[in-house]
Chains A and B, each alone.
Chain A
């Protein structure tokens, strides 16, 4: 089955530790995205990548980093510089070569930092 997988579903970390969230897609999509979701705030864009080895900051990139070494993978690292990292993180992909805005989402990772 084609789709987007995110792992793990739940993640717990101590304050001050970096943590990496996994996102993999087998849809052969060029573009991938990371969003953060907090109650009552909708989805906010953290980073996006239109092509391998290239990515751009979104609206709330501070305290986060990404890499895009393979087309299928777009991991997100939440660094210790992120002041309020506890949130629900969603990964998405789209077929940007067809100028498509339609994005497909993974199931999400809930990160809790204490």
Chain B
């Protein structure tokens, strides 16, 4: 069965520092992988996605993620964090199940940015 693990519940970084959020997935086939961001009380916004091809994908707001099949990982990175990046981040894997394309989400990582 498919699943997503985000091992860090909460991360705190200083503004201007680099960021890496971890995501590990379990899925039998080639995965479709996503990172979403959620500001408090808001819906989810897609940051980036991986379907195939180049394993380093670029997204919006200066984020990137690298797919590593050997480690079953899809970690999100940003070289320099801005205060506006404080939010909750969700990793998701897409899986075809019972005739539908569904997303399976991790439990999220909350990012705090300190000045």
Interface of A toward B, CB cutoff 8 Å: 4, 6, 31, 33, 40-43, 45, 48, 50, 56, 88, 90, 92, 94, 96, 99-108, 110
Query: Is the CB–CB distance between B41 and A108 below 8 Å?
Result: yes
Contacts of B99 in A (CB 8 A): 50, 56
Interface string of B93-107 (1 = CB under 8 A from A): 010001111110111
Partner of A56, one of B44, B46, B94, B98: B98
The DSSP consensus for interface residues of chain A is strand
Query: Is the CB–CB distance between A104 and B98 below 8 Å?
Result: no
* Size bracket, chain B contacts: 20 to 34
Query: Is the CB–CB distance between B49 and A42 below 8 Å?
Result: no
**20 contacts across the A-B interface (CB closer than 8 A):** A6-B43, A31-B100, A31-B101, A40-B108, A43-B44, A43-B90, A45-B102, A48-B100, A48-B102, A50-B99, A56-B100, A92-B44, A101-B32, A101-B34, A101-B102, A102-B49, A104-B46, A105-B43, A105-B45, A108-B41
Query: Is the CB–CB distance between B43 and A108 below 8 Å?
Result: yes
Report how far A102 CA is from B94 CA in the complex, Å.
Answer: 8
Query: Is the CB–CB distance between B9 and A101 below 8 Å?
Result: no
Report how far A104 CA is from B49 CA in the complex, Å.
Answer: 13
Contacts of B107 in A (CB 8 A): 40-42
Query: Is the CB–CB distance between B43 and A106 below 8 Å?
Result: yes
Contacts of B43 in A (CB 8 A): 4, 6, 90, 105-108
Partner of B101, one of A99, A105, A108: A99
Q: Report, nearest first, the 6 A-B pairs whose CB atoms are least far apart.
A: A101-B94, A105-B43, A42-B107, A105-B44, A43-B105, A42-B105
- B42 interface residue per 8 A CB criterion: yes
Report how far A108 CA is from B100 CA in the complex, Å.
Answer: 23
Query: Is the CB–CB distance between A96 and B90 below 8 Å?
Result: no
Which residues 66-84 of B sit at the A interface, judged by CB distance below 8 A? none
Partner of B42, one of A48, A50, A108: A108
